[in-house]
Each structure stands twice: as C-alpha cells, then as structure tokens.
Amino acid sequence: MAVSHIPPQRKALSGNRTFGWVTPKGKRPTEYEDLTVGQQSTPAQFAFQGWPLRFDNGRDPYTEDSTVLRSSNWYAYRDPNQTMNRPYIAGVHEAEKALQNTFLGASAGGLFGFANREWVSKGLAKHYMTYPFVEYGMFLALCYAEREALSDTVTFSIVFEAADKLRHLQDVVYYSFELAEAHSEFSDEECLRVWKEDPVWQGAREAIENVIALDDWMEIVVALNLCFDPLFGELAKVEYFTRFAGANGDLVTPSVIASSEADTVRTRAWTKELIRPLGGESRVWHPQLVDHCSVGGQVEQVLAESLRRLRPRVLRGS
C-alpha cells in the first residue's frame, strides 16, 4: 500500500537574504569590512576551542599584555581610509608611475642641472640619501607592532604603513640613480658613515633605535606616528629638504617627498582613529598623548632628548 508523504508547511522566509558575521560600523558592511574583519581569530572571537599553537615558552600567539593600553574591543576599530590590498596596490602603482614620469620629464627637460652643485653634494648626496636609514628603522619597528597587534583591522593598517616605509626607502634609492646619471660627481657612498657617526643624525638614530627596542606595539605606533614622524619627519623632509631644495634650484626632490607625504596623511588618519577611543577626542592629536594614555615612560623620555639634540643641528643645515 503506497503511503503518500505530505511535507509540513514551512514558514515563509523573511525578505532578508543577506548574512553578516561582523558588526558593521555603519548600517551595512562595507567591502573593506567584508574583506578585513574576521581575519585574525582569538579564543574570544571565532577560535572558541582555544589556541591550537603557542610559542615555545607557552605564550599565547596574541596576548593583552603586549601593550599597556586596554580596549574593550580592539576589533571595533575601522580604518577611516578603508585600505585594502587591491586598491592599495593599484594606488601604489599609480604613484610610482607618476614618480617615474617625473624623473623622465626632469631628465628630458634638463631640470636636474638647475640644482646648486653644493646642495647636490651635501644636501642630497650626504643627507637626503641618509634618510632611507630612518625609513628602514621605522619599518623594522612596525614589523614587530604588526605581529603583536590585537585585531585584524589594526594589523592591516600597520602592515600597509610598513609597506609604505619600504617603498619610500626604495624611492630615494631610485632617485639616487637618477642623480648619479645627471651629476657625474654625485656619490652616496658616505651615507652609512654619516648615519653612524655624523652628529647631525645621531639624535634621529638614537630615537629610531630606542623605538625598535620597545616591546609594546601600541607604544611603537604612538611613538612613530604621533611623536617622531610629526616632529622629526616634518622637520627633515618638509622644512629642510623640501624648503631648501627650492632655494637651491632643485625642482625634483620636492616631488619625491610629496609622493611620500600623501601616505603620511593616510597614516595619521588611521592612527588618530585608533587612539581616539583610548585618549578622548579632545586630546587625541598631540604628542603629549603619551602621558594621557599612559603608554609608558620611554616614549617621552627617549624622543624628547633625541629630538632636542637633533633640532638645532638640522635647522643650521650642518
């Protein structure tokens, strides 16, 4: 005898056909949030079974003790620039292509020859070609910070900044090749000695080396992005190299620096957003944020002394 099966009536589905596993900052998740949030799991989020791997000494892969700052939810941070890999790579390609065209145009138009020879031999060959050591030092410090950061959104912001530092370093080195072709007497062979021994650079070197030695990832971010780069970076790149380049007939160096300054604007925007919930809106954009947030005593002590020693020397152009 055949038995006819009548399936039970199902309730009508709602009109919502979307599924979200993250809490968006706005009404709906952006493409940035879809591709970024949830990439770094912890036992408090997604990895509920606990850590499958640990360091040899038993330390968890990520720990709140990696910074003295405390946040109720590091994952709530969103990069205001919404930087993602694909548009980042496309933007970098456009910036580097524009810089290459600048060099080609300057070479074809004979603009390299307008620069004062003493400026080329001292301002550029001796000092500007030493600045890549600063960029590489910041890159090394950020490599540690990105490994210890306590959420995926924060990690990606630091990773992109570290990539920027390497690119800026390479741009200056690439620029040195163009200068060598335009000026037969140009040589940057003394840059390593200048970085290690010249009194002009010892304040910056001390600051960078002390930041590299920090073991608090948020302290590194604050030290570089809110203290060192706004003070020394702007003093050296904008107030010295860019300003005096124009005064010495150098029309190309400001273009190289302008390319990196666009990345600096992006970096400060996300750093400000990261710090805002921790320090309060009214006191977020100020070097003394170090005190307000209790990021530790080393940043203020190290950078204040290093920058005090450096500032008058750079201003004299020695």
Contacts of 240 (CB under 8 A, 6+ apart): 314, 315, 317
> Tens of pLDDT along 213-258?
999 999 999 999 998 999 899 999 999 999 999 999 999 999 999 9
> What pLDDT is stored for residue 52 in this prediction?
83
| 189 within 8 A of 289, measured Cβ to Cβ | no
Q: How many CB atoms lie within 10 A of CB 158?
A: 26
> What pLDDT is stored for residue 48 in this prediction?
77
| 131 within 8 A of 265, measured Cβ to Cβ | no
Least confident of 55-59, 85-89, 110-114, 133-137: 55-59
Token pair for 158: 């630091």
| 255 within 8 A of 237, measured Cβ to Cβ | no
> What pLDDT is stored for residue 2 in this prediction?
61
Residue 135 has pLDDT above 60, yes or no: yes
**Rounded CA separation 83/35 (Å):** 10
According to DSSP, residue 215 is labeled -
- What fold characterizes domain 116-316? Ribonucleotide Reductase, subunit A (1.10.620)
**Rounded CA separation 58/264 (Å):** 38
| 79 within 8 A of 268, measured Cβ to Cβ | no
Q: Is the dihedral of CA 254, 257, 258, 259 positive or negative?
A: positive
Residue 311 has pLDDT above 60, yes or no: no
According to DSSP, residue 122 is labeled I
Tell me which of 283 and 144 has the higher pLDDT: 144
DSSP string, 247-268: HTT--SHHHHHHHHHHHHHHHH
Contacts of 301 (CB under 8 A, 6+ apart): none
Nearest to 256 by CA among 177, 159, 156: 177
